[in-house]
Amino acid sequence: MLEVLETIPPDPILTLSEHFIKEVNPKKIDLGIGLYKDISNKTPIMGCVKIAEKKVINNLSADKIYKGSSGLNSFCEMISELLFSNKKELAQEGRVLSFQTIGGTGAIRLSAEIIHQINPERGIWVSNPTWDNHKDIFEYMGMKVYYYPYQGICGELDFQSMLESISIIPRGDVIILHGCGHNPTGIDIKKKQWSKILEVIKDRNLLPIIDMAYHGLAKGLQDDNYCIDLFSSQLDEMFISYSCSKNFGLYSDRIGALIVLTKDRNSCFKVKLQLSRLTRLSCSSPPIHGALIVNEILSSVELKKIWTDEITNMMIRARAARKLLLVESQRQNCARSFIEVGSGVGLFSIIPIKAEGIDILKNNFGIYMLNSGRINISGLNENNIEYFVSSAKPFMNK
């Protein structure tokens, strides 16, 4: 029976990571997979996580029983409070549902399943470019995915084209927006621009899904939450896909949440029932160890302070890596090739290099990046920046 299966290409990011591990070049650089890296090129367990995990393990009243399809309630409440700290009345009115998921990917998948259940004919609109899984997940559900312009030919945000495009999206369709740290461009929407997007969403009656995979790593926890504050004050409905992979460093624990803003308490109740059923049919209930860690951090004044300080340092580290790249490119007389990196935020940027050059960098220099030209900024440091720029320079803008 299994021999009739179609041979499909492997995941490009995971494959790239596997090849990097086997790479023997002592100067090898991994700019591919989306992991935060410190100045020594390590992805350490965060200090607040180490403390919280010890508390979780040493809790004599802890258990390993199922917590239900919606996950750990206290974790869900903490994530809601984190995102709606300026709109606490929404939770009090029963309009906010927070539902634990298998990472941010699980939140996107649950969004796709419930939207498909409501109306499989709805169009799904994503930025060009976007995280590949946005398109893949919704198309796998049988829904049609369309693109709106995002990045201009020089690497900047082409907001005018974006606004014109989303202004003619069919009424009632779904639009996916990156709340912060746009993946893969690193170019974020400005506050005044969010207001114009909100007006279009209201005018076209669009359902927004805000992808919050990098909360705190772009401009800080408060600024990165701006669009959620803005949208929740004027919209009846909104989905938020939240990931704890990057900002808590819980990559392999697979901790995330789908937060749904509804019109009223009754709608919220019905959404929870539907999400519970969908989860029951897939994973039954999400794992809670990582959720216990996040809950421990966010419910403790001391640990939350350590966490926010660590997040700030990670953000500063990414900014420093961008500046390092700009300075070195200026020194090597190729600054124009990396100009848009300087205005980016978060972990990623796209550099102007074609697939052929990317292959040569991988095969001849041990430098790994995605075929789109996306690089993980935090993979650069003072020890490898000169090697990266000198190696990449001949292939830029070609």
CATH number at residue 200: 3.40.640.10
Residue 156 lies in a domain: yes
Residue 61 lies in a domain: no
Give the three-state DSSP class for 250: coil
Distance between alpha carbon 193 and the CA centroid of its chain, in Å?
Answer: 20
Residues 232 and 374 in one domain: no
Range of the domain at 143: 66-299
Contact status, residue 176 vs residue 140, Cβ threshold 8 Å: no
| First vs last C-alpha separation in the chain | 47
Residues 147 and 171 in one domain: yes
Residues 22 and 118 in one domain: no
Q: For residue 40, is pLDDT > 80?
A: yes
Of 259, 280, 299, which marks where a domain is finished?
Answer: 299
Of 271, 299, 327, which marks where a domain is finished?
Answer: 299
Q: Which residue's structure tokens are 């050059």?
A: 357
Residues 114 and 205 in one domain: yes
Q: What is the pLDDT of residue 86?
A: 87
DSSP lists the bridge partners of residue 258 as: 99, 241
Residue 142 lies in a domain: yes
Q: Residue 11 has which token pair?
A: 């995941």
* Residue 177 burial by Cβ neighbours in a 10 Å radius (0-12, 13-18, 19+): buried
Q: What are phi and psi of 49, to 5 degrees?
A: -70, -40
What secondary structure does DSSP assign to 45-105, as a single string? PPHHHHHHHHHHHH-TT-------TT--HHHHHHHHHHHSTT-HHHHHTT-EEEEEEEHHH
Q: What is the pLDDT of residue 152?
A: 87
Q: What is the pLDDT of residue 155?
A: 84
Residues 318 and 391 in one domain: yes
Q: In the predicted model, what is the mean pLDDT of the chain?
A: 96
Q: Residue 296 has which token pair?
A: 């421990």
Residue 50 lies in a domain: no
Which residue spans within the chain are E strands per DSSP?
29-30, 96-102, 124-128, 145-149, 174-178, 207-212, 238-243, 255-261, 348-350, 367-368, 374-376
Alpha helices in 283-333 (DSSP H): 289-298, 301-331
Residue 55 lies in a domain: no
Q: For residue 153, is pLDDT > 90?
A: no
Contact status, residue 355 vs residue 329, Cβ threshold 8 Å: no
Residues 274 and 312 in one domain: no
Of 240, 274, 299, which marks where a domain is finished?
Answer: 299
Residues 18 and 146 in one domain: no
Residue 233 lies in a domain: yes
Residues recognised as catalytic: 131, 211, 246
Residues 116 and 212 in one domain: yes
Residues 27 and 108 in one domain: no
* Interatomic CA distance for residues 315 and 108, integer angstroms: 25
* Interatomic CA distance for residues 70 and 101, integer angstroms: 8
Q: For residue 398, is pLDDT > 80?
A: no
Return all residues near 174 (Cβ < 8 A) that are at least 6 apart: 115, 122, 123, 124, 125, 206, 207, 208, 209
Amino acid making up residue 232: S
Give tens-digit pLDDT for 316-335.
999 999 999 999 999 999 98
The predicted model gives 378-392 an average pLDDT of: 98
pTM: 0.96
Residue 3 lies in a domain: no
Contact status, residue 166 vs residue 175, Cβ threshold 8 Å: yes
Residue 170 lies in a domain: yes
Give the total number of structural domains in the chain: 2
Q: For residue 61, is pLDDT > 90?
A: no
Residues 343 and 377 in one domain: yes
* Interatomic CA distance for residues 31 and 376, integer angstroms: 5
Residues 295 and 309 in one domain: no
**CATH number for position 39:** 3.90.1150.10
Q: Residue 163 has which token pair?
A: 């606004």
* Interatomic CA distance for residues 245 and 34, integer angstroms: 10
269 vs 153, more confident:
269
Cα dist. 154→187, 202, 336 in Å? Answer: 12, 31, 10
Q: What are phi and psi of 145, to 5 degrees?
A: -110, 135
What is the Cβ-side half-sphere exposure of residue 252, based on CA atoms within 13 angstroms? Answer: 3
Residues 314 and 288 in one domain: no
